[in-house]
């Protein structure tokens, strides 16, 4: 059945050939959806007839957000750690082990329920495509069960067994790397599309990360990398060397990192929720834009460094604290995320793409940053079906 949404105040297509600017914006627009796909976009007055008609009441319509970086498979929270940080303590990778203990103790049902509750929050914030990593189990069995749960709900599953060295291997990080190479990769490969490593101070060094990523690639997983969050130990350079789809965090970047990213197919994924929640200095995205590096924005939802599921919050932070323009921030949270996941079917509203869209309680996408902290999501459609309808 086809549906036309007419009387859209501003429609963001992310296809510059369909409208104005980077976002391909069309004013007074309509969009036709058919069989879960976009069939037509253009001026409202020229819209073809459809089986059903929806009046958007002059609201803005944007592509659904693509959250390319989240950690949703865990139990418990670390609110006390947040409190300590806000009293002056520093964030370290070691806190991950607190969540590992709680996650190992949780039942499959509780892990899945917690993940789906966070996904519900994401949907209500306008996210229609989401990735999740494992990384709080850190045994072959616990990592495999986490990814099996995730793969029932998303195709974007990432094995992050190399998140931190677990307590039982505290004095033998190479022993833990061997466990990953010899046992974990085989256990998770049926349900992991991607492989990731936290390559940073207090986690895994560049040589360990290279060995793990190469082994994952040889088992059919595609690489992405947590890079340069706490320090610059050369992780962005490794991401480029291995052709990672994305180098994530990029909090500490020098000019050789930016040059390397600029000459590569690796997207720089920025995670402003992490700088916010760890009270770290924000990276300046203008340096990346000036060099022509594609940039994604993601929530990094996790219980330690960024416990948010709100893409509008991340967009507002990116604009205010990272020097994104509102246009760049929306692009990064939609097309940027799609590129970071190497997806061409989402992140845009051009004919043929998946009908994932958000109606805003506002006449323009500019209100995402202009009205921070306000419930700006009116309704959300995924593959042409309504998955959330908020207040008008
Ligand atoms: O992306 N940096 C590594 N992993 C997460 C934090 C995990 C945690 O603190 O529990 C991140 O920020
Ligand atoms: Fe992360």
DSSP secondary structure string for all residues of 177-190: HHHIIIIIHHHHGG
Provide, rounded to the nearest whole percent, the portion of the chain with pLDDT above 70: 99
Tell me the C-alpha distance between 180 and 323, whole Å: 39
Mean pLDDT across 343-353: 98
Q: Which ligand approaches the C-alpha of residue 272 most closely?
A: 1
Atom of ligand 1 nearest to the CA of 230: 2
CA of 378 to the centre of ligand 2 (A): 28
The segment(s) of the chain belonging to CATH 2.30.40.10 are 2-64+348-389
Q: Ligand 1: residues within 6 Å at CB?
A: 71, 95-96, 99, 198, 226, 229, 274, 300, 302-306
In the prediction, which pLDDT does 5 show?
A: 97
pLDDT at 392 over 70: no
Query: Considering only CA atoms, which residue is closest to atom 1 of ligand 1?
Result: 300
CA of 78 to the centre of ligand 1 (A): 12
The segment(s) of the chain belonging to CATH 3.20.20.140 are 66-340
Mean pLDDT across 125-144: 98
Tens digits of per-residue pLDDT, 317-345? 999 999 999 999 999 999 999 999 999 99
H or E element at residue 385: strand 385-389
Name the residue of 74, 94, 96, 131 whose CB sits within 8 Å of the most ligand 1 atoms, as the mutation to test its pocket: 96
In the chain, what is the straight-line distance between the N-terminal and C-terminal CA atoms, in Å? Answer: 25
Q: Are the C-beta atoms of residues 163 and 136 closer than 8 Å to each other?
A: yes
The candidate with the shortest Cα–Cα distance to 51, out of 34, 64, 66, 37, is 34
In the prediction, which pLDDT does 391 show?
A: 55
- Residue 193: helix, strand or coil by DSSP? coil
CA of 300 to the centre of ligand 1 (A): 8
Name the residue of 68, 163, 165, 228 whose CB sits within 8 Å of the most ligand 1 atoms, as the mutation to test its pocket: 163
12-16, 90-94, 187-191, 299-303 — which is least confidently predicted?
A: 90-94
Q: Are the C-beta atoms of residues 328 and 356 closer than 8 Å to each other?
A: no
Give the angle 270-273-276 at the CA atoms, nearest 5°. Answer: 115
For the domain covering 66-340, report its CATH number: 3.20.20.140
Tell me the C-alpha distance between 217 and 173, whole Å: 21
Name the residue of 118, 146, 304, 307 whose CB sits within 8 Å of the most ligand 1 atoms, as the mutation to test its pocket: 304
Tell me the C-alpha distance between 148 and 133, whole Å: 11
Tens digits of per-residue pLDDT, 169-211? 999 999 999 999 999 999 999 999 999 999 999 999 999 999 9
Which whole-number Å values give the CA distances from 66 to 41, 340, 353, 392, in the listed order? 21, 9, 13, 24
Residues facing residue 31 across a β-bridge: 5, 41
In the prediction, which pLDDT does 388 show?
A: 87
Which whole-number Å values give the CA distances from 308 to 118, 250, 271, 328, 359, in the listed order? 9, 19, 11, 21, 21
The candidate with the shortest Cα–Cα distance to 200, out of 272, 98, 96, 296, is 96
pLDDT at 148 over 70: yes
- Tokens describing residue 253: 């970047």
Query: Considering only CA atoms, which residue is closest to atom 6 of ligand 1?
Result: 305
pLDDT at 105 over 50: yes
Residues facing residue 61 across a β-bridge: 11, 359
Q: Which ligand approaches the C-alpha of residue 131 most closely?
A: 2
Q: Which ligand approaches the C-alpha of residue 302 most closely?
A: 1
What's phi and psi for 135, nearest 5 deg?
Answer: 120, 5
Tens digits of per-residue pLDDT, 52-64? 999 999 999 999 9
Query: Which residue, chain included where needed, has tokens 């190399």?
Result: 162
Average pLDDT, the chain: 97
Provide, rounded to the nearest whole percent, the portion of the chain with pLDDT above 90: 98
In the prediction, which pLDDT does 50 show?
A: 97
Tens digits of per-residue pLDDT, 241-288? 999 999 999 999 999 999 999 999 999 999 999 999 999 999 999 999
CA 78, 341, 109, 103 torsion-angle sign: negative
Q: Which ligand approaches the C-alpha of residue 158 most closely?
A: 2
Q: Are the C-beta atoms of residues 162 and 143 closer than 8 Å to each other?
A: no
> Taking the model in full, what pTM does it have?
0.98
Query: Considering only CA atoms, which residue is closest to atom 3 of ligand 1?
Result: 198
- Tokens describing residue 11: 């429609």
H or E element at residue 111: helix 108-124
CATH of 2-64+348-389, one of 2.60.40.10, 2.40.50.140, 2.30.40.10, 3.40.605.10: 2.30.40.10
pLDDT at 127 over 50: yes
């Amino acid at each position: 059945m086809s549906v036309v949404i007419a009387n859209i105040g501003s429609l963001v297509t992310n296809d510059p050939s369909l409208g104005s600017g980077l976002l391909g914006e069309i004013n007074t627009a309509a969009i036709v959806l058919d069989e879960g796909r976009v069939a037509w976009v253009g001026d409202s007055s020229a819209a073809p007839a459809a089986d059903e008609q929806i009046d958007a009441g002059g609201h803005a319509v944007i592509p659904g957000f693509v959250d390319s970086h989240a950690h949703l498979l865990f139990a418990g929270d670390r609110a006390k750690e947040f409190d300590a940080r806000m009293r002056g303590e520093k964030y370290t990778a070691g806190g991950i082990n607190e969540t590992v203990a709680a996650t190992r103790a949780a039942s499959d049902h509780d892990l899945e329920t917690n993940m789906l509750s966070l996904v519900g929050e994401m949907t209500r914030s306008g996210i229609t495509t989401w990735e999740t990593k494992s990384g709080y189990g850190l045994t072959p069995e616990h990592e495999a069960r986490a990814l099996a749960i995730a793969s029932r709900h998303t195709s974007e599953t990432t094995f992050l067994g190399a998140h931190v060295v677990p307590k039982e291997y505290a004095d033998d990080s190479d022993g833990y790397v061997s466990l990953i190479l010899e046992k974990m990769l085989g256990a998770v490969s049926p349900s992991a599309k991607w492989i990731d490593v936290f390559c940073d101070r207090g986690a895994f060094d560049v040589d360990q990360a290279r060995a793990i990523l190469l082994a994952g690639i040889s088992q059919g997983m595609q690489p992405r990398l947590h890079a340069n969050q706490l320090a610059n130990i050369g992780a962005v350079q490794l991401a480029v060397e291995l052709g990672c789809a994305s180098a994530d965090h990029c909090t500490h970047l020098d000019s050789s990192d930016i040059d390397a990213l600029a000459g590569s197919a690796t997207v720089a994924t920025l995670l402003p929720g992490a700088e916010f929640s760890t009270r770290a200095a924000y990276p300046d995205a203008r340096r990346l834009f000036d060099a022509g590096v594609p940039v994604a924005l993601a929530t990094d939802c996790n219980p330690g460094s960024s416990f948010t599921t709100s893409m509008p919050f991340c967009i507002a932070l990116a604009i205010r604290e990272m020097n994104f323009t509102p246009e760049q921030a929306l692009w990064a949270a939609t097309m940027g995320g799609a590129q970071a996941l190497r997806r061409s079917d989402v992140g845009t509203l051009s004919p043929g793409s998946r009908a994932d869209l958000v109606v805003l309680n506002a006449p323009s996408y500019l209100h995402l940053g202009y009205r921070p902290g306000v419930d700006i999501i009116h309704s959300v459609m995924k593959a042409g079906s309504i998955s959330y309808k908020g207040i008008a």
